[in-house]
């Protein structure tokens, strides 16, 4: 059976075509976003155009196509009127608008309420604060609203005419009850927001119905892109975690519903329903990963094209730690601190070289992983192995350092695009190609290489980690 996964990202969309789970082809189209200090939005019209263009390419090239599944980034939403006209900007999670509304929500309801119900403490990044921003500042526009759609259910609606959103993406709105898996109607009614504006919530991988104009093609609500990445990495059992190592880094472990939801929310990890099970997962975020390494190369490597590349810089990475520290908060800290801390380079002397700075950046990104793993361990979320995907997963020395720092096995995947693989698995289960997710993972996910901790360096990195923690606390105290 030929199926396609449509992945909607913040810089472009990609459609991947599979036959029996094996990748046949893929197409990609980019589109603009607007980012400055006051506004950070994405052009929904461009997303719509790219979706139809990519779908048309897939259908034309593979006339036997039977299903299209949709994954997308989270938080951002589209406000539509009764004629489906777009009423307002599609604000990215980093857009500063909604900060005043987030403070209001925190003051009126308290973090404890949101932690218990939505699995997250109040943050302006989530949809509800930005929805309130429109309601409060543009009431005439908001009163025309007939639908509030996140990107996944917007695309599903475009293709099928059906309004449905899967649990994992609904959980990024902060008005979704993650334990009972339904909209928080109490909160929405209290805020004067009609719950009927939102799509019907459904389990991950639910078939919406046939595509408009193509009754033989089924449209599927797949998941938030991080969930697809988790499934496509093969880390679908307890004590395993997926690690999406790209421009940013997202470590995603699975745990039972008995986990401490308040503690998970306190540190910004959240609690997201996982597939159709009673299990949950959370996101441990590092805001800069590949972005930090790229900054080091762009800033300090001034040679020709070969020298200004990851492959060149990686030649000089060593397994043993050096004495430099690069605190990776060049775009603020992610979890568990969730602050506007600044990036810092510490320990330079006249003998320091660019290779030392790059080495320290890689090491400290791994130390930041260890920080999150340590916090999760205290909460009761245990990680004993990590499956790594994304561009950074091609860097063998980075993965070896990660294994030495975390002191657990790190699995490198044959297919670094775990999101596409996960989409194929989730769709495969929905369409009956696989009896369950375990079978889908066994058939489609292959480990290329496993990196085991080197006892010679584990203790050295443990010492550096303790210094790393003290350094952050000292700098944070001084406002860095």
In this prediction, residue 304 carries a pLDDT of 59
Distance CA 169, CA 223 (A): 6
In this prediction, residue 375 carries a pLDDT of 96
Handedness of CA 90, 37, 10, 203 (dihedral sign): negative
* DSSP letter for each residue of 115-179: HHHHSS---TTSHHHHHHHHHHH-HHHHTT--EEEEHHHHHHHHHHS--EEEHHHHTTSS-EETT
**Residue among 44, 223, 67 nearest 148 (CA):** 44
Q: Which domains does the chain have, with CATH numbers?
A: 2-225 (3.30.420.40), 234-477 (3.30.420.40)
The tokens describing 403, both together, are 């294994």
pTM of structure: 0.90
In this prediction, residue 20 carries a pLDDT of 78
- C-alpha distances in Å from residue 261, one per residue of 118, 186, 272, 333, 379: 9, 20, 10, 21, 9
Q: Residue 336, preceding bond cis, omega within 30 degrees?
A: yes
Distance CA 50, CA 41 (A): 17
| Helix, strand, or coil (residue 433) | coil
In this prediction, residue 307 carries a pLDDT of 67
Mean pLDDT by 10 residues, the chain (480 residues): 93 90 90 80 95 97 96 96 97 92 96 93 94 98 98 98 97 96 97 98 97 97 94 94 93 91 91 90 93 91 70 90 95 89 94 96 97 95 96 94 98 92 94 94 95 97 97 88
- C-alpha distances in Å from residue 417, one per residue of 268, 403, 449: 26, 21, 16
In this prediction, residue 305 carries a pLDDT of 64
């Amino acid at each position: 059976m030929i199926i396609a996964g449509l992945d909607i990202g913040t810089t472009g969309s990609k459609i991947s075509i599979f036959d029996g789970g094996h990748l046949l082809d893929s197409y990609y189209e980019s589109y603009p976003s607007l980012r400055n200090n006051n506004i950070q939005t994405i052009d929904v019209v461009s997303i719509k155009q790219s979706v139809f263009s990519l779908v048309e390419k897939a259908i034309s090239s593979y006339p036997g196509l039977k299903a299209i599944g949709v994954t997308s980034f989270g938080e951002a939403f589209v406000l539509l009127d009764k004629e489906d006209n777009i009423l307002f900007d599609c604000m990215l999670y980093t857009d500063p608008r909604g900060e005043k509304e987030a403070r209001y929500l925190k003051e009126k309801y308290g973090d404890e309420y949101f932690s218990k119900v939505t699995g997250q403490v109040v943050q302006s990044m989530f949809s509800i604060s930005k929805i309130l921003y429109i309601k409060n500042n543009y009431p005439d526009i908001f009163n025309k609203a007939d639908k509030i759609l996140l990107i996944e259910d917007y695309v599903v609606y475009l293709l099928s005419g059906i309004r449905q959103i899967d649990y994992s993406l609904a959980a990024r709105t902060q008005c979704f009850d993650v334990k009972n898996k339904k909209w928080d109607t109490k909160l929405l009614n209290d805020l004067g927001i009609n719950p009927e504006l939102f799509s019907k919530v459904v389990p991950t991988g639910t078939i919406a119905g046939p595509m408009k104009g193509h009754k033989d093609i089924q449209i599927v609500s797949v998941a938030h892109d991080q969930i697809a990445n988790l499934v496509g990495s093969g880390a679908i059992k307890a004590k395993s975690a997926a690690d999406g190592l790209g421009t940013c880094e997202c470590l995603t472990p699975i745990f039972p519903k008995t986990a401490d939801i308040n503690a998970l929310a306190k540190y910004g990890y959240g609690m997201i329903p996982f597939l159709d099970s009673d299990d949950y997962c959370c996101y441990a975020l590092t805001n800069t990963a590949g972005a930090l390494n790229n900054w080091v190369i762009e800033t300090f490597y001034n040679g020709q094209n070969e020298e200004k590349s990851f492959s060149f810089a990686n030649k000089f990475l060593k397994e043993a730690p050096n004495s430099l520290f690069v605190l990776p908060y060049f775009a603020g800290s992610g979890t568990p601190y969730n602050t506007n801390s600044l990036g810092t380079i510490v320990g330079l002397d006249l003998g320091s070289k660019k290779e030392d700075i790059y080495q320290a950046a890689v090491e400290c990104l791994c130390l930041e992983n260890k920080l999150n793993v340590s916090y999760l361990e205290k909460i009761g979320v245990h990680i004993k192995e990590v499956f790594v995907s994304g561009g950074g997963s091609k860097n063998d020395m980075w993965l070896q350092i990660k294994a030495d720092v975390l002191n657990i096995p790190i699995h490198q995947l044959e297919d670094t695009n775990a999101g596409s693989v996960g989409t194929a698995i989730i769709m495969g289960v929905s369409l009956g190609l696989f009896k369950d997710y375990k079978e889908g993972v066994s058939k489609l996910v292959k480990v290329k290489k496993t990196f085991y901790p080197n006892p010679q360096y584990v203790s050295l990195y443990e010492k550096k980690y303790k210094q790393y923690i003290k350094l952050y606390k000292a700098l944070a105290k001084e406002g860095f």
